[in-house]
Amino acid sequence: MEHRIGMEIRVLSKYMGRYLDDIHGIDCMLSGPQGLILIYLCENDEEVYQKDIEKYFNIRRSTATGLLNSLEKNGYITKEPVENDKRMKKIKATEHAYSTVEKIDNHVIQLEKIMLDGIDEKEVKQFRNTISKMTLNLVKESKNG
């Protein structure tokens, strides 16, 4: 029986997660989604609000709230009130977040080198194009459904 592509993507994702979970030497109490949010915050110089995170990661408000509260509790982010709307909070990465993301990024680069060993640039480009099309198909379907 031929493997389903979704299952193959999930297996790859699990291996990637295990590799990154086994990272030693990083003062890190982050889950995978928390790490992704931190990377997003550290790479995004614009003002970021919870709604931006919900939209970018396609997550529910309750999920975003839980992730952000945990990041704040562990000193990775601060939430600053907005002057004209006290209900809105600007999300900012702390110095601790920036140093942690730098360490994580080095491991992600190493992970990608391992994954791409023996794969030429043409294959990588085709893979990225295919993944992008799959993502767009799912986005369109979720808007229609």
Cβ atoms 40, 50 nearer than 8 A: no
The least confident of 22-26, 51-55, 107-111 is 22-26
As for how many domains the chain has, the answer is 1
Sign of the torsion angle spanned by Cα atoms 38, 28, 72, 93: negative
Q: How confident is the model at residue 77 (pLDDT cuts 50, 70, 90)?
A: very high
Domain range enclosing 133: 5-144
CATH number at residue 114: 1.10.10.10
- pLDDT tens, residue by residue, 14-35: 998 888 777 655 556 777 788 8
- DSSP summary character for residue 4: P
Q: What pLDDT is recorded for position 90?
A: 94
